[in-house]
Structures are given as structure tokens and as C-alpha cells.
Structure 1
Amino acid sequence: MSWDEFTACAGEDGQILYEAGEDAIKEFAELWDSLPEVVQNMLKKAAEWGGSFLARALARAGLAAAEAIAAAAVGVGLGTLVAIIADCYDKL
């Protein structure tokens, strides 16, 4: 499947994900699945505080594309971002 199919699957939020970039989304999806639940919850809480907090938290969690992902997560919401990736990742 292609990046275009993935962003199409994301619907209206596809443009925000497109701007974050394919590599950033793939890296985030792999990292998210490997994180313990407590770290996932920490990232969700950081997202509530805003993009700069989330970017720093993602960087601490080991995500190189932290700023791109934080921008996407702030644009659609971290929960929505994770749900989109879970629902559409098989197209990526």
C-alpha cells in the first residue's frame, strides 16, 4: 500500500499526517506500540499541555521526528492520531 492510500484512509486529518511525513508516522507507530502503558499515558498528558511539551516528551521517549509528530498530534489530537494509525497502518 502507499502513503497516499494511508493519508486517504485518514480522511480529513490526512493532510495533517501528510505534512508530518511518512517516515515520522512510521517511526511514531513503531515507537508507540513498543511503549509501556505508563509512558503512553505520560505522552497523552503531555499532549494536553501542548505541542512543545509533547515534542519534548516524544524526544525523551526516543522519537527523532518528535516535532513533526507533535505538530500532527496537536492538529488532530494524540488520541485521534493513534487511532488513525491503528486503523490505517496496514495501508502504509
Structure 2
Amino acid sequence: MSTALRVLPSELLYTLAALAVVLVVSFVFGFTNVFGALSAAVSIAISLVVLWLFWRLVTATERIARATESLADDSLAGHED
């Protein structure tokens, strides 16, 4: 099974959980009228963008760590006698 297929369910679960938390917090603060609904929609949109940016940061950091580890392994393999 590919890595993408193994990771997808947990990513989806975390995204849905984060969205549920944002919705619950929005309704707790009383975003029930039209202006409040618009505020909640903007708040949710901003939260989703921030979560997406954070996810991009995490995946980029993982890629950098893998590349660094690969380079270190390659350099060690070249010095073995």
C-alpha cells in the first residue's frame, strides 16, 4: 500500500476534528444571527487556511529531515573502507 493511502485516513480524521472544533467554538460564542453567521464563515475560512499552512510546514519539515538523513547516509556510505 502506498504511503499516501496509509496517511490519508488520519489526515482526513484530523481535518474533520479540527473543523468540528472550530464549528463548536463558533457556536459557543453565539454566532447565530446573519452577521454572526458571516463572522463564523470568515473565522472558519481563516482557520482552515491557517491549518493548511501549518500542514504544509509540517510536511516540508519532514521532507527536509528525510533529505538530510539521506545525505548523511550517503556521505557515511562513501567513507566506509
TM category (shorter chain) comes to under 0.3
* Structure possessing the higher radius of gyration over alpha carbons: 2
What is the TM-score with the length of structure 2 in the denominator?
0.27
Structure number with higher relative contact order (C-alpha < 8 Å, ≥ 6 residues apart): 1
What is the TM-score with the length of structure 1 in the denominator?
0.25
